[in-house]
Structure 1
Amino acid sequence: MDTLILAWKNLWRNRRRSVITLIALSVSLMLMQGFHNLAVGSYARMVDSGVRAGSGHIALYRGDYHRSRDEVLTFEAADLIEQLTGMDEITHALPRVYLPGLAQSSRESRGILLTGIDPAREYAVNPFLQHLPPSTMPQSLESRDALLGSRLASELQLSEGNKFVITAQNRQGDLISELFRVRGVVHTGLRDVDNSLVMVGWHRAAAMGGFPRQIHELALILTRADAEATVMPQLLRLLQNSAVQAIAWDEAMPNLADSIKLDYASQKFIFAVMLLIVTIGVVNTMLMSVMERVREFGIILAIGASRGRLCRMILAEGLVLGALSVCVGSLLGALLTWYLVAHGIDLRQLMPQSIEFGGVIFDPILRAIWDISWMAKIALYLLGLALGATIYPAVKAARLAPAEAMRHI
């Protein structure tokens, strides 16, 4: 205890230098905690938006459909949907059919991706459809109502109520053409999607493909993202005697997963640079403190103090400086995180109404979430860093020769 009290007093002998170092450490910790929480919150919203419009938290496919996109790899869905929606952690099971085809109006024709959906289930989950009135959705799984991407509707010169023809190749290799009516127009903000999207009831799409009542994908939406660890073992047991396999979202949507990993890696690099600068600052502060007290240390050693005691005294100064910085920085980091959770960062003045990242559209108001465990870890890491940065100055002080040190001016 006496060592810590002495370290506290020594730390403030040069008040300006200690305050500057304290501010640097505290602000660095605040920024790392706050912007890590902002990144985690933004990633969570990206994943939530991506899985609802895409493959779900967990996707069921037959064979390697998620890689090959072979239209032949379909499976029966009716019984499976009933079983899965009965599980506690699964809120929605979304059946989907995907068929490449050609859309023709009286004026133009364009290549499309015919997507078969369950309109009622999809409307409750898919963020692309949330802004549409319910009356614009296909009225049944068998109906000839269709939703078109906004750019596709413009290129085909179609509006609500107009008719158009979709031609697709079925499993037997025959070309099937059917007449549809535009029920509504979807604007996703994704250029490729808006250029090619056509949504119809999945029974109608499956019939056109020559595999009635079968689907390519069953997207499962969970109560929360971390429920995957609980649900996946149950799915593996349920599907163990089936050709259907369960795939996590990061494997089913590699573009989004890779974009998040790359973005977080760049953030880690920035954090590493900040920590390096902080370390240099602590080393400089403690080394200058040692060099200013060489004569004092020589006297302490001459009257019988051990080199180990002198070393511990310098290390205690680094420990006190680090602990104070961690307390102040964590308080500031908590306040910054609270602000980012409550208000976020509004990018609407700088960017469009929606932002594309990894093939996913999300809200331009970025909000943080609390990651208490990471905040504690980085705080302890900074404390250890401050202590570690004091080792060299402490060793240098302990190696002083008493006679030479007392002659130092």
Structure 2
Amino acid sequence: MKWFIRAVAAIVVIGILVAGGLFWLGSRDGVLVASTLTGGKASSEVVARGKYLTQIGNCVGCHTAVNTPEFSGGSGLKTQFGTFFAPNITPDPEKGIGRWSADDFWQVLHNGKAPDGSLLYPAFPYQSYSHLSRADSDAIFSYLKTLPASDRQAPAHDLRTPFNMRFLLAFWRALYFRPADAVAQTPASDDAPLRGRHLVDGIAHCAECHTPRNRLGGMDVSRSLQGGKMSDGIWYAPALTGDTDGGLGHWSEQDIADLLLTGLSAHGAVVGPMSEALRGVQYLNGQDVSDIAVYLKSLPAAGLKSGSTGEVNDTLYSMGKKIYGQYCAACHQADGTGLDNAWPSLDGNSLVRGQDVTGLLRVIMDGGFTPTTEKTPQPYGMPPFRHFLNDLEIAAAATYIRNTWSNQSGGVNQRSVNRVRNID
């Protein structure tokens, strides 16, 4: 009996030590890099740099609710854990960041910790922002300090138990978060791929959507940028690797740049949550968008295969061919190549050939517009077919375009369409 008691006691002690170690690992302070601001003040060039970074990171998209002052708090990000609300980041001293120092802001971006030491939920993409240099952090902070202050109180997070227990974040962080190299600076001017990676990994935070996550919300870094299901359960962010099935294998550097600046390219169009991201990404300057395109085209194929939802049924395919000719060919053309910069090509389209058909079916059902940008102020739109076509007909149309021209991506069944139709 004594040996049993001793064994249990040993297990308990080991468990406490492991838990304590994980808690320390996930809550410890990161390295503080000295501010680049001379005398705590920023030049006009630094503020302009901060505005640019804030734009291309689309900070306003999360930190602004409809019909409220910009940056005064978000309208809510719905996830399987509950709804997260981005805080007020205007210079208001009570409701915003008016009392913060540049060191506080660096701690938030680089280490994911609030000025009072509390741990931040990774709905705020500090896993990506950790890659920013101290100079970039200081520039963003300097710009935010120039904004009009708002005393709006952003809503508190509305999370399910146990996810509302913030101390548990220490264990999550121990498993999934390591601050990036604290002394990282902007890459050398003669290294385009590295400069592009710096933007993709950092301010553009592409991995936050385009990398698979597990049930606890941890990114699978071993499959970085290989595509991932969005938190809303509706959209799938496609792979950015060199794969031809659902990736950028068929894309040129110019195709990538076109999509980021206009929302349209020869191989696809921006739809879903990426439309929100494009509000900021469209402002990338020529050098930065070129560097991103160079970096993404340097990524090798990961061996991804199209996510076939079933065998291609000949009867369904034939039905889809007729539906395509009746409803789709006028815009997307009989050969699937689209028309100029108005309607995207479906041949080789990443959304069409992707691993997940939810986004494709959603576009067929609900239509929509590509986002308005400075270079495409009046984008063309696609009408919704939810009320014109039944589930079988939509499955047929999707099956046809996924398996015609150069596309060989598997069939779509009626059950998949019905599931998407019933998503809120």
Structure 1 or 2, whichever has the larger Rg, is 1
TM-score w.r.t. structure 2 length?
0.22
Q: Which is richer in strand?
A: 1
Greater RCO (Cα-Cα under 8 Å, separation 6 or more): 1
**Which of the pair is proportionally richer in helix?**
1
